[in-house]
Amino acid sequence: MVFGIKDKKQLRSLGTASMMGLQVVCGTFVGLAMGYYLDRYFGTKPWLTLIFLIFGIIAGFKNMFRELKKLDQDEK
């Protein structure tokens, strides 16, 4: 029994839900880092940083919604 949860399905759902926030944050930071280093390489500050930051945010939310959809299908 972990955190008062007896059912493995509930525990798996809790793990998936906690992982979703991490996916959004990681996607954002990866996009930000890629844009920052490409801006330094090409000398185009701040445009590539902003573009890749937006791409990272979109990718993070896309992964989160994909996991939510999978979680919803598992519950049915």
- The enclosing H or E element of 40 equals helix 8-42
pLDDT digits (tens, 9 = 90+) for 3-26: 666 777 777 777 887 888 899 999
Residue tagged 């793990």 (tokens): 15
CA 66 to chain centre: 10
- Mean pLDDT over residues 25-49, rounded? 96
Q: One-letter amino acid identity for 53?
A: L
Q: Is the whole model's pTM more than 0.75, yes or no?
A: yes
Mean pLDDT of 48-52: 98
What is the total count of domains within the chain? Answer: 1
The verdict on residue 71 lying in a domain is yes
Residue 12 amino acid letter: R
What is the domain extent for residue 45? 13-75
Q: Is residue 56 part of a domain?
A: yes
pLDDT at 49 over 80: yes
DSSP 3-state of 2: strand
